[in-house]
Amino acid sequence: MTLDAKIPEGPLEKKWSRYKDHAKLVNPANRKKLSIIIVGTGLAGASAAASMAEQGYQVQSFCFQDSARRAHSVAAQGGVNAAKNYHNDGDSVYRMFYDTLKGGDFRSREANVYRLAECSLNLIDQAVAQGVPFAREYGGYLSNRSFGGVQVSRTFYARGQTGQQLLLGAYQSLMRQVSLGKVHLYSRYEMLDLVLADGKAKGIIARNLDTGVLERFAADAVVIATGGFGKIYYLSTLAMGCNGSAIWRAHRRGALMASPSWTQIHPTCLPQSGSYQSKLTLMSESLRNDGRIWVPKLENETREPNLIPEQERDYYLERRYPSFGNLAPRDISSRAAKERIDAGFGVGPQKNAVYLDFSKAINEQGKDKITEKYGNLFSMYKKITADDAYQIPMKISPAAHFSMGGLWVDYELMTTIRGLFAIGEANFADHGANRLGANSLLQACVDGYFILPYTLANYLSGELKSAKVGIDSPVFEEAERDVRNRIDRLVHIKGSQTADFFHKELGKLLYDKCGLSRTAAGLQEAIDGIANLKSAFYRDLLIPGEAGDMNAELEKAGRVADYLEIASLMCFDALKRNESCGAHFREEYQTPDGEALRDDENFCYVSAWEWPGDDKEPILHPEHLEFEFIKLSVRSYS
């Protein structure tokens, strides 16, 4: 298999314009003859569904939540990036492009990243027109703040609710199309398989979660917008329902998975307080604009933070990375926190946290200004911990968050299956080996609003004369039979352990062996351990109830079954990449001062993996990255 990224010719700044100028179009009168399935109603899925329906296509939209607006995009707090340079502090499209490439440790495509930065200019105008209440300066101008990995202010925000407000804008656009009859919205449906005909994506098999009935849905193209698989670690910042099943089912049908080992551990989460927890709470990275991160200089410190004098505090990010300080990128900040915690300088009841201190910012700016910027985050922190962060420092800790890896897509956001597109966090496209903060909301919106409407139309223009594939065709019957067999296998195990038990065991194994740091020996232990856990899962899983009813335990079990497969590929990918880059930190490959050591000669590629069948070694198809417009350099933030 030869991977073709379909990157347009020409100068970097002209590639997207050149693509749009030469892309094939569908006559407005013909668009109503074409149907599209979009799985997921987060920012990527909702914006894509609204945009395609607005153009006149018939759209079927699916989500497993009871409402499209409950998609996990609401949980993104801190902001969305755009290179508008309102602060006149040196920002530009090119600088944002370079910051994003560097932030991802030079492991993403130049063309995709430049397009992300270029389209960011349009997104803010789009969101303001939808009524998104971005923060504004006294004179009425939109306000900006900084995020990790940059030295300019390019992050637009709505207090600590940016994801929610952006999603409400996309949601109202989606529901307008629902009311016009151009989008048929299926809530409480979960995609369980992809249907192919002549090698093209032509539909899905979905389960009605309220009735347990399997249903067939046909279309001329399928778009997966189901987010990432960070919940594979069990304890993560993601909602309990987040999962990787849609992308994994597509992978089994032939869509390559790209760089699954590139998973991000977020540096500013609330620390785990006990084994009873099922998720962790994210505190926005925006807090690092004004909060200073430190640990005591003494090991096993027992004094309250306010009683520890300044000279006995280690502001370790400011010490190690003076140019960026507390705004060092997420992967670097998380590893630095873990190093201090592991060395015995952690704080809190379990000594598993560091301090995030706002005393200096409050003294300089006043409590009212800090409340204006972060008030809801401080309120959330107090509600969860009973501590007042205006009076004493917050306690934060690294936690699993975002998956940079996902389905491999080309410049058009199409996977290796014709007619199957993946957008937002479901694909690997823009972030490389580490995602900069506030680029997640940006990618989701840009993919749905500005990129997919061109690239999907370019594909659909060739489908007008193709024969329609109905839900009664043999390919649908075969796909449904496969799904039913998988479900029956799970239901009839009748063991003694719940799906949550296996998920917890998997999460602990992954966090220890394929988390913030990895070793060859540890990864091999993880691969062996996952195989043993998978064997136990299919021997001792307990699912109460029946397959043909509402059954939340069956839903969990199907997702955990897929997580076991994804986890194995994650560890295999990490084991085969003998370098450190971004969030992938192999302890064998580091500089003398403990920083990631890339190997551009041997590993300057995206690792795209083919599924070979059950219990067989995955097949690597590397997409070698070529850098025409920037020079590869050592990633330094000091």
At 496, which CATH number? Answer: 1.20.58.100
Q: What is the DSSP letter of 490?
A: H
pLDDT on residue 154? 97
Please say which residue of 385, 400, 415 terminates a domain: 400
Assess if residue 338 is contained within a domain.
yes
Assess if residue 232 is contained within a domain.
no
pLDDT level of residue 1 (50, 70, 90 thresholds): confident
What is the rounded CA–CA span in Å between residue 416 and residue 410?
8
Can you tell me the mean pLDDT for 46-62? 98
pLDDT on residue 276? 86
The answer to whether the CB of 441 falls within 8 A of the CB of 158 is: no
Assess if residue 548 is contained within a domain.
yes
pLDDT on residue 331? 97
What is the rounded CA–CA span in Å between residue 84 and residue 144?
10
Assess if residue 154 is contained within a domain.
no
Residue 478 and residue 390 share a domain: no
pLDDT at 111 over 90: yes
For 294, other C-beta atoms within 10 Å of its C-beta total 26
What is the rounded CA–CA span in Å between residue 408 and residue 259?
9
What digits encode the pLDDT tens for the residues 559-607?
A: 999 999 999 999 999 999 999 999 999 999 999 999 999 999 999 999 9
pLDDT on residue 274? 85
Tokens of residue 574, six digits: 């990490």
pLDDT on residue 600? 98
Residue 491 and residue 585 share a domain: yes
What digits encode the pLDDT tens for the residues 273-310?
A: 988 888 999 999 999 999 999 999 999 999 999 999 99
pLDDT at 230 over 90: yes
pLDDT level of residue 32 (50, 70, 90 thresholds): very high
Closest by CA to 421, choosing from 623, 610, 618, 200, is: 200
What digits encode the pLDDT tens for the residues 399-425?
A: 999 999 999 999 999 999 999 999 999
Q: Report DSSP letters for 274-301, one per residue.
A: -TT-S---B--GGGGGT-EEEEESSTT-
Residue 373 and residue 482 share a domain: no
**Could you give the number of structural domains in the chain?**
2
The per-residue pLDDT of the chain, averaged, comes to 97
What digits encode the pLDDT tens for the residues 431-445?
A: 999 999 999 999 999
pLDDT at 62 over 90: yes
Assess if residue 144 is contained within a domain.
no
Residue 392 and residue 486 share a domain: no
Residue 576 and residue 489 share a domain: yes
Residue 482 and residue 396 share a domain: no
Residue 502 and residue 396 share a domain: no
pLDDT at 612 over 90: yes
Conformation bin of residue 333: beta by default, left when phi > 0, alpha when psi is -120 to 50 = alpha
pLDDT on residue 551? 97
pLDDT level of residue 463 (50, 70, 90 thresholds): very high
What digits encode the pLDDT tens for the residues 193-202?
A: 999 999 999 9
pLDDT level of residue 311 (50, 70, 90 thresholds): very high
Residue 374 and residue 277 share a domain: yes
The answer to whether the CB of 75 falls within 8 A of the CB of 241 is: no
Q: Which strands sit side by side in the sheet containing 313-314, from one edge to the other?
A: 263-269, 394-403, 354-357, 292-296, 313-314
Please say which residue of 400, 433, 454 terminates a domain: 400
Exposure of 318 by Cβ count < 10 A (0-12 exposed, 13-18 middle, 19+ buried)?
Answer: middle
Residue 396 and residue 272 share a domain: yes
Q: Report DSSP letters for 243-273, one per residue.
A: -SHHHHHHHHTTPPEE-TT-EEEEEEEPPP-
For 73, other C-beta atoms within 10 Å of its C-beta total 30
Full domain range(s) for residue 556: 474-603
Assess if residue 312 is contained within a domain.
yes
Please say which residue of 341, 374, 400 terminates a domain: 400
pLDDT at 159 over 90: no
CATH of the domain at 346: 3.90.700.10
Assess if residue 405 is contained within a domain.
no
Assess if residue 584 is contained within a domain.
yes
Residue 486 and residue 370 share a domain: no
The residues facing 61 across adjacent strands are 38, 185
Q: Catalytic residue positions?
A: 330
What is the rounded CA–CA span in Å between residue 36 and residue 518?
41
Residue 380 and residue 273 share a domain: yes
pLDDT at 136 over 90: yes
